[in-house]
Amino acid sequence: MCDREYMITRLRRNFLWGIFISTVIVYIIDAAGHLLQWGLVETPFINFLTYTLPVFLLICHATWVLDLKRGLCFVLIASLIGFLAEVISLHYATLFGGRYMYLGDGVKLFEIPLKIPIFWAVVVYLGYSLTTSFHYSLNKNKPSRHTGGATLLPLLILLDGLFVVSIDLLLDPVQVHTQQWTWLDEGAYFGIPIGNFIGWFLVTTVTTGLFRTFEYFWPQKKHASDKWAHLMPGVCYGVLYLMLVSQAFRIQLPELALIGSLVMGPILILNLIFFACWQPARSRAKRCFF
């Protein structure tokens, strides 16, 4: 690799880690602030950071791990499918199990805040990356037409969907109680229809199913990431878990925090254990890590 390419790669890696560390710090502050009832976390600046940093991290991580074109393609597909699902469900009360509406006066398209499609991309990519990190930690390459493994695709797609639904089990009740949106047709799970989680599972599996199928037939030729980039999804999942649990306690729903801990906690612990035990083949041969 020439000096110019090396410098560009190093700058991209450093920028990714800078965004990652900044996101983790802000979300830890947010979680502690909600748990200890600090007024700081309610400021517009902190709210701005909690919305924008995950988006920057998504784009940086996706374009680093998947390469620029594939990363942007994932973001666009996930945002588009999420937006179409919202439009269908918001106006026909079908996909997410009942009628609901978004609150607030922000910029909306078809009554949907413009930030919603991009946050579909954030959570779906987090589920996809978490599954991929588990897969890599077993020293398995992604299924492809060159190396085989087509029978693994349904399992990977299933895990993508389950990981994202595990997030929404905490996310949706918290967002309803903080008046981000409201359900007009209340359901059995903290006022949320069970069909909502089926809808989340479908949106996620359709998105990652399309992308993983594309990856199978047109596999990535070269991986631009290192081992430690695959630690980021697990850490982000853990920080998101802490933030949502702290908000559950803040809105006096300890039973929600318990459910979230029983669902998200084991996934987080297993991911970190798998990563700690992961020795990439090249590293084992050289008796060192990346």
What are residue 192's DSSP bridge partners?
Answer: 189
Least Cα distance to 217 among 146, 135, 140, 136 occurs for 146
* Residue 203 confidence class, pLDDT cut points 50, 70, 90: very high
Tell me the pLDDT tens digit for each residue of 31-89.
787 677 665 556 777 777 888 899 999 999 999 899 889 999 999 999 999 999 999 99
At residue 10, the pLDDT reads 81
The pTM of this model reads: 0.90
At residue 39, the pLDDT reads 58
Cα separation, 234 vs 14, whole angstroms? 19
At residue 289, the pLDDT reads 31
* DSSP secondary structure letters along 223-261: ----GGGGTHHHHHHHHHHHHHHHHHHHTT-HHHHHHHH
Residue with tokens 């990346």: 290
At residue 283, the pLDDT reads 47
At residue 146, the pLDDT reads 85
At residue 282, the pLDDT reads 55
Q: How far is CA 33 from CA 10, 29, 41, 43, in A?
A: 34, 6, 6, 11
Cα separation, 95 vs 196, whole angstroms? 7
Tell me the pLDDT tens digit for each residue of 206-262.
999 999 999 999 988 765 556 788 899 999 999 999 989 998 998 899 999 999 999
* Residue 12 confidence class, pLDDT cut points 50, 70, 90: confident
Bigger pLDDT: 141 or 184? 184
Least Cα distance to 214 among 82, 80, 69, 57 occurs for 69
Mean pLDDT of 158-179: 94
Mean pLDDT of 175-194: 90
* Residue 11 confidence class, pLDDT cut points 50, 70, 90: confident
Cα separation, 61 vs 51, whole angstroms? 16
Q: Is the dihedral of CA 123, 125, 269, 225 positive or negative?
A: negative
Tell me the pLDDT tens digit for each residue of 85-141.
999 998 887 789 889 999 877 788 888 998 899 999 999 999 999 999 998 888 788
At residue 290, the pLDDT reads 29
